[in-house]
Homo-oligomer: A and B are copies of this chain.
Amino acid sequence: MNGRTRPLPSVVREFDCTGGTIIAYGHDTYTEPLRTDTTDYYQNPLDMDGVSHCSRDVTMTRATIERDPDLYRHRSMSNVITLYDIPSRDIKDNAWSPNTWKTRFSLNYKGLPYKTVWVEYPDIARVCQEIGAEPTSTSEYDTPKYTLPVIYDPSTKTVLAESAKIARYLDETYPDTPVLIPRGSSALHAAFQYAFAQMVSQPALPLMLPATNNILNPSSEAFYRRTRESWFGKLEDWSPPGPIREKHWEELRAALARVAGWMALDDEDKPFFMGDTICYADITIASILVWMKRVLGPKSQEWARVKTWDGGKWGSFMQAFDKYEMVL
């Protein structure tokens, strides 16, 4: 064990994480046998103090440990960053949320070790308050609003909420890892976040929120339905199959076509937002797309359609993220 967190060599991003040690948030540690053939996840069946929450720290396979014992030493540190995320009842390795994927992709791209603590929706505010995470906004009634992702980094004793803030923190704290927001581009990145939320995330909501509701655990599902239905009414009516749903898909297609147009301004062949290297804008786009892929289903007709848009751009864009699509 090594109490100091330091950046891993980039090869760490490539390693094979198919085993599983699972701990429950803030209570006790549950360990499952080391498995070499699955990325199965664990959901705590107990509801201690009325709260369902679980967490997971995937360890390495024996094969990986034998291949590179150095990696094992890094990965076996218990003192790694904790990422707080929202679980699912039937998504592969649990992770689905576009917002927490921004931080998960950030950590994976940087090759920083971390473990995940899974928090159900009704528990987010309490958990954030317990660990000292700031609210990310206040509602119209000035109630603090707590959201995930949140990270805790034991190496600096920092608790931080909000994915773009976390990205800037990781860039500053781990300067030897790949940069997410190049110096001088923070303000432009913030403008991008606003533009992308307005232009792409908004039209994705009627298509994605009802489908997301179906993959949540019961306590989150009830919370999600209640809060989301207060926005636009019954989830099942948001985007029923037929012409309304087709119109929503067309709006989303047009929005992503506009983003593809932006990306081609300097050079039609550049794969990422700022050129040949992934930046935080790319991670934001990939996080929406991985949400679609995972919640609609990687083999669904709807996801297959998205991959063909803009001459297959989004399919190949997401292929570049395959190696960062892992859950530690």
Contact = CB atoms under 8 A, between A and B. Distances in A.
B281 A184 contact: no
Interface string A170-199: 000000000000011111111110111011
Contacts of A191: 188, 191-192, 195-196, 262, 281
A263 interface: yes
A196 B191 CA distance: 8
A236 interface: no
B186 A266 contact: yes
B186 A262 contact: yes
Q: How large is the interface on A (under 10, 10 to 19, 20 to 34, 35 or more residues)?
A: 20 to 34
14 contacts: A183-B275, A185-B188, A185-B274, A186-B262, A187-B263, A187-B274, A187-B281, A188-B188, A188-B191, A190-B261, A194-B195, A194-B198, A195-B195, A198-B198
Contacts of A273: 187-188
A172 to B, nearest CB: 10
> How many copies of this kind of chain does the complex include?
2
A168 interface: yes
Contacts of A48: none
Interface in A212-257: none
A111 to B, nearest CB: 23
Contacts of A11: none
A270 to B, nearest CB: 9
Dominant secondary structure of chain A at its interface with chain B: helix
Interface of A: 168, 183-192, 194-196, 198-199, 261-263, 265-266, 273-275, 281
Contacts of A189: 188
Nearest to A186: B265
A258 B195 CA distance: 13
A42 to B, nearest CB: 38
A196 to B, nearest CB: 7
Contacts of A188: 185, 188-189, 191-192, 273-274, 281
A196 B194 CA distance: 9
A327 to B, nearest CB: 29
A195 B194 CA distance: 6
Given A188-B273, A188-B281, A281-B191, A183 B266 contact: yes
A189 B281 CA distance: 12
A274 B184 contact: yes
Nearest to A258: B194
A191 B190 CA distance: 10
Contact of A198 (B168, B195, B262, B263): B195
Contacts of A195: 191-192, 194-195, 198
Nearest to A260: B187
Those 9 A-B pairs whose CB atoms lie nearest each other, nearest first: A186-B265, A188-B188, A190-B262, A191-B192, A195-B195, A187-B262, A191-B195, A194-B195, A184-B274
A185 B273 CA distance: 8
A285 to B, nearest CB: 11
B265 A190 contact: yes
